Amino acid sequence: MSDAILVLNSGSSSIKYALYGASPDLPRLLHGQIDRIGLGPEHACDGVDTPLPLPGDATHADILDWLLAHLQQEHGALSIIAAGHRVVHGGRDFAEPAQITEDAIARMERLAPLAPAHQPHNLAGIAAVARRWPQVPQVACFDTAFHRTQSRIAQLFAIPRQFSDDGVLRYGFHGLSYHYISTRLPDVLDKPDGKVIVAHLGNGASMCAMENRQSAATTMGFTALDGLVMGRRCGELDPGVIFHMLRDRGMTVAEVEDMLGSDSGLMGVSGISSDMRDLLASDAPAASEAIDLFVYQACKKIGALAATLGGLDALVFTGGIGENSAQIRARILEGCAWLGATMDAGANAANASRITTPDSRLAAHVIPTDEEGIIAVETRKLLRN
Ligand code: ADP
C-alpha cells in the first residue's frame, strides 16, 4: 500500500477531487470533477467520462458517498492518510489552514450564513470523509485566509463601527488560488515581491492586489457577490438597488438574493449564457454588451487596485477565462496601456507564460491556477507539524 492525500473541493454545483502521493513532491495521481449537481451530474476523471450510477437529483451527500466508495474500490492499493478540503469562509477565526475538530466544524457551521451557496457543501465533504474513514485526519483550507494580511482600512466598510467590530468586513475570496499563484511568482516575475495584481477570471471572478506576495486588497467583500462582473453574480452594485427591488418592486429578500447571485452577471446582461465561450461565439448585441461590461469593470478594478498599491509591476491572469481567452486578455491589456502594458500578440494568442513584450513597462503573465494542489501542500504541511 502506498500513502495518499485526498483533496476535495466540494462546491455549489460541482465537486473537484484529487489524490496525491504523500511524498514531499506530492505527485498528483488523479484529478476528477463532477459537474451539474442537481441537474443530472456528469463525472470525468483525468479526461475519462465515468457515468454516476445515481439519480439526476442526487444530493451532494449521495454523490460524495459514491465518490469515496468508488475511489476506495478503484484505488485499493492506496491508503488515504489525510484529507484536505476547500472551505470558502473562515471568517476572522481562521487565518491559516486548520485541522478538523468538532470545535472547528462548529465554528465553520456558524459562518455558513455568510456563504450559503458553498459552505454547507464544503462541510458535506468533511462529513463524508468522516463517515468513510473516521480515523483519517482532515484539514480545512480557507478561501478567506490569504486576505487576512490586509490592513484594517482595506477590510473596513464605512458603516457604523459596531457592525465592523461584529465582523461585517471585507473578507475576500479565491484565496487558495491567490496563495497558489503567490508561490509561483518567483518562477516567472523579475520582481516577484513587487506590486502585482492577480486577476482570477472564471465563473466566479475577483482580483487581488499583492505586495511581498501577500494580499493587500481585493475586489470581493463580505460575500463573494462584490467586485467584478461574474458568470451569474452581479459584482459591484449600489446597495440602493436592493432597497428599490424590495420596496418598490415587491420582491422578497430571497428573490433579490437569487437575482443578484444567480440571474445577474454575464447571464443577466446577455440573457444568453453565463459562459464566456458562448458569449464570444454569439453575434447578439446583448452578448457583446455583457463582454464590454466585463472588460470595463475589470479595467476599472485594475485601476483602483493599482492605486491602492501606488503603482503596478505585473498583472497575472488565471481562472478559466484568464487562462484560456486571448481575446478577453487582449481587451483588458488594451485598457492597461496607461499603466505601461504593451501586449505581445503572438504570445497572448498562444496562452504563453509572458504575454507582454520584453520592453513593456507592465509585465503581464498567464499562470494556470491549482487550488487542489495548494490544498495538498498545506494539508501535508499542517499534519507534519
Ligand atoms: P469556476 O469559477 O467555476 O472554477 P472556471 O475557472 O473553470 O470556473 O472558468 C469558467 C469560465 O471560463 C467560463 O466562463 C468559460 O466560458 C471560460 N472559458 C474556459 N475556456 C475558455 C476559452 N477558451 N475562451 C473563453 N472562455 C473560456
The three grid cell numbers given for residue 273, joined into one nine-digit string: 449564457
- pLDDT-derived band at 116 (thresholds 50, 70, 90) equals confident
Domain annotation covers residue 299: yes
pLDDT at 93: 85
Q: Is the CB of 318 under 6 A from ligand 1?
A: no
Give the C-alpha separation, 26 to 5, whole Å.
9
Q: Which residue has the higher pLDDT, 52 or 299?
A: 299
Candidates 203, 206, 220: which one to mutate for ligand 1, based on the most atoms within 8 Å of Cβ?
203
Q: Provide the domain count of the chain.
A: 2
For ligand 1, the distance from its centroid to the CA atom of residue 320, given in whole angstroms, is: 3
Q: Which of 127, 142, 157 is the last residue of a domain?
A: 142
Residues 146 and 179 sit within 8 Å (Cβ to Cβ): yes
Give the C-alpha separation, 209 to 147, whole Å.
10
Residues 227 and 207 sit within 8 Å (Cβ to Cβ): yes
Which percentage of the chain shows pLDDT scores above 70? 100
For ligand 1, the distance from its centroid to the CA atom of residue 327, given in whole angstroms, is: 13
- pLDDT-derived band at 303 (thresholds 50, 70, 90) equals very high
Domain annotation covers residue 161: no
Candidates 173, 269, 280, 324: which one to mutate for ligand 1, based on the most atoms within 8 Å of Cβ?
324
DSSP tally for the chain: helices H, then strands E: 15, 13
Lowest mean pLDDT among 165-169, 284-288, 302-306, 381-385: 381-385
pLDDT at 373: 97
Helix-strand-coil split of the chain, %, nearest 5: 40, 20, 35
115 plus 193 within the same structural domain: no
138 plus 196 within the same structural domain: no
- Is the confidence at residue 40, as pLDDT, over 90? no
Residues 173 and 150 sit within 8 Å (Cβ to Cβ): no
Domain annotation covers residue 288: yes
233 plus 344 within the same structural domain: yes
pLDDT at 13: 83
Q: Is the CB of 203 under 6 A from ligand 1?
A: yes
Residues 321 and 276 sit within 8 Å (Cβ to Cβ): yes
pLDDT at 12: 82
Q: Which residues carry out catalysis? A: 143
198 plus 308 within the same structural domain: yes
For ligand 1, the distance from its centroid to the CA atom of residue 201, given in whole angstroms, is: 8
**Ligand 1 atom closest to Cα of residue 11:** 3
Q: Which stretches of the chain are DSSP H helices? A: 60-74, 102-110, 119-132, 152-155, 161-165, 175-188, 239-248, 253-262, 265-270, 276-281, 285-309, 319-324, 326-334, 345-349, 371-384
Q: Is the CB of 11 under 6 A from ligand 1?
A: no
- Is the confidence at residue 205, as pLDDT, over 90? yes
8 plus 102 within the same structural domain: yes
Q: Is the CB of 324 under 6 A from ligand 1?
A: yes
The three grid cell numbers given for residue 71, joined into one nine-digit string: 475511489
194 plus 64 within the same structural domain: no
Interstrand relation of 205-211 and 196-201 (parallel, antiparallel or unpaired): antiparallel
Domain annotation covers residue 374: no
Give the C-alpha separation, 146 to 128, whole Å.
26
pLDDT at 350: 97
Give the C-alpha separation, 368 to 190, whole Å.
18
Q: Is the CB of 319 under 6 A from ligand 1?
A: yes
Give the C-alpha separation, 310 to 98, whole Å.
34
* pLDDT tens by residue, 363-383: 999 999 999 999 999 999 999
- pLDDT-derived band at 344 (thresholds 50, 70, 90) equals very high
Full domain range(s) for residue 87: 2-142
pLDDT at 9: 96
356 plus 244 within the same structural domain: yes
107 plus 205 within the same structural domain: no
For ligand 1, the distance from its centroid to the CA atom of residue 115, given in whole angstroms, is: 22
**Ligand 1 atom closest to Cα of residue 319:** 6
User: Which one-letter DSSP state was computed for residue 46?
Assistant: T
Domain annotation covers residue 149: no
Residues 78 and 1 sit within 8 Å (Cβ to Cβ): yes
**For the chain, what is the mean pLDDT?**
96
328 plus 211 within the same structural domain: yes
Domain annotation covers residue 217: yes
**Ligand 1 atom closest to Cα of residue 326:** 24
Amino acid letter at 202?
G
* pLDDT tens by residue, 101-110: 999 999 999 9
Q: Taking residues 5-9, what's their average pLDDT?
A: 97
Domain annotation covers residue 308: yes
Q: Taking residues 171-186, what's their average pLDDT?
A: 98
134 plus 196 within the same structural domain: no
pLDDT at 221: 96
Closest CA to 7 of 358, 306, 327, 380: 380
Q: Taking residues 146-172, what's their average pLDDT?
A: 97
Q: Which residues contact 253 (CB under 8 A, 6 or more apart)?
A: 246
User: pTM to 2 decimals?
Assistant: 0.95
Q: Is the CB of 275 under 6 A from ligand 1?
A: yes
Which percentage of the chain shows pLDDT scores above 90? 92
- CATH label of the domain that carries residue 235: 3.30.420.40
* pLDDT tens by residue, 51-96: 888 988 899 999 999 999 999 999 988 999 999 999 999 999 899 9
Domain annotation covers residue 371: no
pLDDT at 117: 85
233 plus 118 within the same structural domain: no
For ligand 1, the distance from its centroid to the CA atom of residue 297, given in whole angstroms, is: 18
Could you count the other beta carbons within 10 Å of the beta carbon of residue 324?
18
- Is the confidence at residue 384, as pLDDT, over 90? no
Give the C-alpha separation, 248 to 353, whole Å.
50
328 plus 197 within the same structural domain: yes
- Is the confidence at residue 174, as pLDDT, over 90? yes
pLDDT at 343: 98
pLDDT at 38: 84
* pLDDT tens by residue, 221-269: 999 999 999 999 999 999 999 999 999 999 999 999 999 999 999 999 9
Q: Which residues contact 340 (CB under 8 A, 6 or more apart)?
A: 360, 361, 362
Candidates 276, 295, 371: which one to mutate for ligand 1, based on the most atoms within 8 Å of Cβ?
276
**Ligand 1 atom closest to Cα of residue 369:** 6
Buried b (16+ CB within 10 A) or exposed e, 215-238: bbbbbbbebbbbbbbbbbbbbeee
